[in-house]
Amino acid sequence: MITGSEALLKTLIAEGVDTIFGYPGGQVIPIYDTLYDYQDKLKHVLVRHEQGATHAAQGYARVSGKVGVALVTSGPGATNTITGIADALMDSTPMVVISGQVPSSLLGTDAFQEVDVIGITQAITKWAYQVRKPEEIAWAISRAFYIASTGRPGPVVIDIAKDAQVGMVEYAYEKVNYVRSYQPIPDMKPHRIEQAAELINNAKKPLALVGQGVILSGAEKELHEFLEKADIPAGSTVLGLSAMGSDYRLNKGMLGMYGNVGPNRKTNECDVLIAIGMRFDDRATGNLQAYAPQAKVIHFDIDKSEINKNVAVTVPVVGDAKQTLAAVTGLLKPAQHTEWINSFDQDEKEEFEKVISKEVTPSEGYLRMGEVVRKVSEATGNNAVLVTDVGQNQMMGVRYFKYNQTRSVITSGGLGTMGFGLPAAIGAKFGAPGRTVCFFTGDGGIQMTIQELGTIMQENLNVKIIVLNNNFLGMVRQWQELFFHERYSATVMTNPDFEAVAKAYGIGSRTVEKREELDEAIEEMLNYDGAYLLVANVESHGMVYPMVPAGAAITNIIMGEK
């Protein structure tokens, strides 16, 4: 007989958990007391805010492919996780959040720090369940991991009443690998495989759109074989970027609002559009009425609710991308689309001349965000994990960082959560301790979760932090400049001395604003033994181009100032 708390920890270990991100409190103390005896098996990372626990768990999950785990107390502890849970749902990140709860005898009495966690989180989870008896703990936790990690991944919340934590139970672990009425991987339809292959075999101008579903299913090899056999150029969503190497010959760059010109224009020129593990988000499509009207659309997705949700589909291919891609590839005829692929060259040349060259290799003026990002990427051999916050730093990061391996982009896609980046970088370092983690943020985003520098200090984490400091909420300022007559309402930032803040946390730091000092500063940061914060004072009115205005056609691309 053991306590419910020990049953919880034993089950986490049985499920392969090695790291927990959390913050203790009154209704979860029994679990933390038991954790004291399990420190050799479970690493607990004390964050500085419960939102940080969820974002760290996300970063860990995204870079490692495992389920991220957060442990918090009841009431405000649980409600502080809401943003991270919603973020994980939008970005299909496997995460289990375990919250303490008041004793079951007090439920519904408005007891101290009681809140209806299940009611609050049901809309933003794959499953939310309240445990009131110790006998339910092992089953609930194993079921949570099964649901969070299978099919289209996502967050699960398990709320555990305090009496269930301290109650005694005869422990028996049985791994859950089946839930009635839940089919994580839909059955493949052979006729859909055949229809997709026929369309692709007859295509003259096929274009693939690669989403995060490829990474989540571990289908990078299958994607490569598919693209090579049919000779299909491909663009990527933000979250799908590292499914292909940046310099891969068929990788034509990022699509969407701040994406590359080629894949956006060619979306409205291709005859067959092949979406793989992406959901036709509005940031990727622009005006749906003007989106690929000429194309026949094949949509590979594990979640049938995404089929025909935003874009009318000619052939739906529902299933796990690793299986469905391989099945379609087996029916493809080797093809060559040399002329079609070469037609991207003119778009790339135009974008380089009008945007990229000015951003990455400027000859004068203030530092540019893009040049800082590109130089950091090159200094790491393009092998680092990119973590970003949200805003201009995010778009510059994903545009100008380069990738040689999968699971190299950790960013908040669907929810666009400012403050995501710093705790996510912490989680990424725990998830991939052997890789360099470079976190790009703005002066606004870092201040939303800046307290997590304390976690970096306590854990002595070697995370490289680059603040692209323009003294503005840069992305909002960009929209104000372009669409609101330069009325900069509430976007000017008065910032602290970031170096002084870093010093207070025992973190190395330096500020750079001269171009001739940038290479040396980056080298110093990367060679520094420990966490380092590099403040790059960049152009205050820098813009992210190309840009497709919200609600415009994907081909309505702003390339820069007229």
* Rounded (10°) CA dihedral 321, 323, 324, 328: 130
Length of the chain, in residues: 562
Catalytic, 113? Answer yes
Sheet hosting strand 385-388, strand order edge to edge: 409-410, 385-388, 437-442, 463-469, 532-537, 508-512
Question: Is there a catalytic annotation at residue 452?
Answer: no
Residue with structure tokens 């991991």? Answer: 145
For helices 369-379 and 515-527, give the axis angle rounded to 10 degrees: 40
Concerning whether 420 is annotated as a catalytic residue, the answer is no
Q: Tell me which of 10, 21, 27, 50 is the catalytic residue.
A: 50
Q: Given 43, 113, 189, 350, which residue is catalytic? A: 113
Are 241 and 258 contacting, i.e. CB atoms less than 8 angstroms apart? no
| C-alpha of 287 from chain center | 24
Q: What is the 3-state secondary structure (H, E, C) of 86-140?
A: HHHHHCCCCEEEEEEECCHHHCCCCCCCCCCHHHHHHHHCCEEEEECCHHHHHHH
Per-residue tokens: 286: 């622009």
Catalytic residue among 41, 112, 514, 520: 112
CA–CA dist 276, 211 (Å, integer): 6
**CB of 128 within 8 A of CB of 156?**
yes
Annotated active-site residue 457? The verdict is no
C-alpha–C-alpha distance, residues 52 and 454, integer Å: 11
Candidates 10, 66, 126, 162; catalytic one: 162
Instruction: Decide if 505 contacts 457 (C-beta within 8 A).
Output: yes
Are the beta carbons of 276 and 300 closer than 8 angstroms?
yes
If one counts every other C-beta atom within 10 angstroms of the C-beta of residue 158, the result is 25
Given 95, 257, 369, 475, which residue is catalytic?
Answer: 475
What single string gives the DSSP state of each residue in 11-53? HHHHTT--EEEE---GGGHHHHHHHGGGTTT-EEEE-SSHHHH
Beta strand 508-512 with 532-537: parallel, antiparallel or unpaired? parallel
Compute the distance between CA of residue 290 and CA of residue 286 in angstroms, rounded to an integer.
8
Residue 112 annotated in active site: yes
The residues that are catalytic are: 50, 112-113, 162, 475
